[in-house]
C-alpha cells in the first residue's frame, strides 16, 4: 500500500494546498480550537490551560516533567501556563521535598471545583463535530497512531 502512495507522490508531486495532510490537520485544529475557545471562555481557560487541567483532574500532584510528557510539551512552554493557572488560583506549584529540582503541581479546591463546571465540554465538542460516535473514536485512534509514527521519525 505504501509503495503505491510513494509511486503516486513521486510521479505527481501534490503541491496544492488542499492536497496536503499537514494543512488538513492544521485547519482542522484551528476549527477545533475555535469550538473550544467559545466553550472554555466561560471557564476562564485557554485551550492549553484546559489540557493541563485535564491532566491534573486525572491525577493530581504531578511534576512539571510528568505533565510535559503527557502533553508533549517542554518545561519552557509549560512553565508560563502553570504560572498563569497558579495566578488564577487553580493550582499550586511547590518544590519537591525529595528533589529540589522538581516542582510538584497540585490542584487547589477551586481547581477541583472547575472540573464539575467543565463536565459538559466533551459532549459539546462531540456535538460540534457533526460526526457519529464511531467516526470520532476511529479518527482519534488514527490520529494517535499518526502521532506515534511521526514521533518515531526523530
pLDDT tens-digit profile of 70-107? 999 998 999 999 999 999 999 999 988 888 888 999 99
State the architecture of 44-117 in CATH terms: Orthogonal Bundle (1.10)
Is the overall model pTM greater than 0.75, yes or no?
A: yes
Q: Which of 52, 58, 40 is nearest to 118 (CA)?
A: 40
Alpha helix positions (H), 12-104: 21-41, 47-58, 64-71, 75-87
How many Cβ atoms are within 10 Å of 90's Cβ, its own excluded?
24
- What mean pLDDT is reported for the chain? 92
What is the predicted pLDDT for the residue at 64?
94
Residues 112-135: pLDDT tens digits?
A: 999 999 999 999 999 999 999 999
**Are 103 and 95 within 8 A, CB to CB?**
yes
Q: Where are the domains of the chain?
A: 44-117, 118-148
> What are the pLDDT digits (tens) for 31-59?
999 999 999 999 999 999 999 999 999 99
Q: Residue with C-alpha cell 475557545?
A: 37
User: Mean pLDDT over residues 18-29, rounded?
Assistant: 94
Q: What is the pLDDT of residue 9?
A: 66
Report pLDDT for 96. Answer: 80
Amino acid at each position: 500500500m505504501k509503495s503505491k502512495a510513494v509511486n503516486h507522490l513521486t510521479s505527481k508531486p501534490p503541491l496544492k494546498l488542499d492536497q496536503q495532510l499537514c494543512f488538513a490537520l492544521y485547519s482542522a485544529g484551528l476549527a477545533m480550537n475555535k469550538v473550544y475557545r467559545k466553550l472554555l471562555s466561560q471557564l476562564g481557560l485557554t485551550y492549553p490551560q484546559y489540557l493541563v487541567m485535564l491532566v491534573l483532574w486525572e491525577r493530581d500532584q504531578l511534576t512539571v516533567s510528568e505533565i510535559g510528557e503527557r502533553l508533549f510539551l517542554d518545561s519552557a512552554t509549560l512553565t508560563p501556563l502553570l504560572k498563569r493557572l497558579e495566578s488564577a488560583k487553580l493550582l499550586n506549584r511547590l518544590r519537591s521535598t525529595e528533589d529540589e529540582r522538581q516542582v510538584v503541581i497540585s490542584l487547589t479546591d477551586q481547581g477541583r471545583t472547575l472540573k464539575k463546571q467543565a463536565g459538559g465540554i466533551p459532549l459539546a465538542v462531540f456535538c460540534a463535530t457533526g460526526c457519529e460516535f464511531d467516526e470520532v473514536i476511529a479518527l482519534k485512534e488514527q490520529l494517535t497512531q499518526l502521532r506515534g509514527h511521526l514521533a518515531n521519525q526523530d
